[in-house]
């Protein structure tokens, strides 16, 4: 029987995933709130503390940091010495890890969040399991996003879940932990450096939108934002109509949004090549547009 360890803060899709795994014959392990959610729903699940023989400690700071967990994730199934060590130590394989992390980015972005609150949202066990499972992706699957659950269940049932799938999931996990650590280091640096500059700068971004093309039509491009950061400029806007934006469209749109946000009254700005060529303000949007266009009717074409 294959074993899955589930420990998620965001419980979106948890029950369908867990029930699907049980139907496929998986043995489930879980901790804390995940354990309670599964047990309350009648899903057969074992507590990690019972599996490891070590109770949770220090207010939940230590739950899964145990050789039976990380050994079960890391030992190579094709290495006789590893298999022998696992048998000698009583460590069974863990074949699937489902983990998403404490919401550190959202916590530090919340106005009034204290340093203690932020520190308590630094996940330790979750990233550790993600890294262990990802390192051993030759045989272990790691899921970090509810969007992955359905595909995994379907392909697992078909017998088509592959090494390429596991590698892709491992990549996603390492990208997540890298962005998570970048957010933590940025937050700590912001309070420790004063007016100084960091010796190393790590920025974790996530894709918000695929662009039509980059600065030139042959170049691919995407728009990235910082997770948990307040949306401003073009990131705070919603496209109502028109084709996909290109990189140049995005720059122009951002310049336009940042300009028009300076005015309280209905306003319009026309931007071309990242330069405003007309700005208007009036009692209604149409008048604001006509005034903006009158500022430079020639350059406004295509802006």
Residue 64 token pair = 């899964």
Please state, in angstroms and rounded to a whole number, the distance separating the CA atoms of residues 295 and 279: 7
Q: Where are the alpha helices (DSSP H) in the chain?
A: 14-23, 32-40, 48-52, 67-74, 80-89, 104-109, 115-120, 125-135, 149-158, 163-192, 247-260, 285-295, 297-300
- In the sheet that holds 27-30, the strands lie side by side as 46-47, 27-30, 3-8, 96-100, 141-143
Catalytic, 63? Answer: no
- Phi then psi for residue 47, to 5 deg, are -75, 135
Distance between CA 48 and CA 92 in Å, rounded?
A: 13
Pairing of strands 141-143, 267-272: unpaired
Handedness of CA 121, 126, 186, 238 (dihedral sign): negative
Going by the DSSP 8-state scheme, the letter that residue 146 receives in this structure is G
Q: What is the CA radius of gyration of the chain?
A: 25
Spot the catalytic one: 19, 82, 135, 272: 135
The answer for residues whose C-beta is within 8 angstroms of residue 124's C-beta and 6 or more apart is: 61, 65
135 is a catalytic site residue: yes
Whether 252 and 303 have beta carbons less than 8 Å apart is answered as yes
Q: How far apart are CA 103 and CA 122, in angstroms?
A: 8
Known catalytic residues are 135, 273
């Amino acid at each position: 029987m294959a074993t899955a360890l589930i420990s998620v803060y965001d419980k979106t899709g948890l029950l369908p995933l867990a029930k699907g795994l049980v139907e496929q014959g998986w043995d489930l392990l879980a901790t804390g709130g995940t354990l309670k959610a599964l047990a309350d729903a009648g899903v057969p699940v074992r507590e990690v503390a019972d599996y490891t023989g070590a109770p949770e400690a220090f207010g939940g700071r230590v739950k899964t940091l145990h050789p039976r967990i990380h050994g079960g994730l890391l030992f190579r199934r094709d290495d006789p010495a590893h298999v022998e060590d696992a048998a000698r130590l009583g460590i069974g394989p863990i074949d699937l890890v489902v983990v998403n992390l404490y919401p550190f980015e959202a916590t530090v972005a919340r106005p009034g969040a204290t340093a203690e609150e932020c520190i308590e949202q630094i996940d330790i066990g979750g990233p550790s399991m993600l890294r262990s499972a990802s390192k051993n992706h030759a045989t272990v699957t790691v899921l970090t996003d509810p969007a992955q659950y359905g595909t995994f269940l379907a392909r697992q049932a078909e017998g088509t879940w592959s090494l390429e799938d596991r590698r892709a999931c491992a990549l996603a996990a390492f990208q997540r932990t890298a962005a998570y650590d970048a957010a933590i280091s940025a937050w700590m640096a912001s309070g420790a450096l004063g007016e100084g500059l960091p010796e190393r700068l790590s920025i974790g971004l996530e894709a918000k939108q695929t662009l039509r093309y980059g600065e030139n039509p042959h170049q691919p491009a995407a728009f990235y934002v910082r997770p948990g950061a307040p949306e401003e400029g073009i990131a705070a806007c919603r496209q109502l109509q028109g084709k996909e934006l290109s990189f140049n469209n995005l720059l122009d749109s951002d310049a336009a949004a940042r300009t028009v946000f300076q005015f309280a009254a209905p306003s319009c700005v026309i931007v071309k090549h990242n330069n405003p060529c007309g700005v208007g303000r009036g009692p209604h949007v149409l008048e604001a547009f006509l005034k903006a266009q009158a500022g430079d009717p020639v350059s406004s074409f295509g802006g």
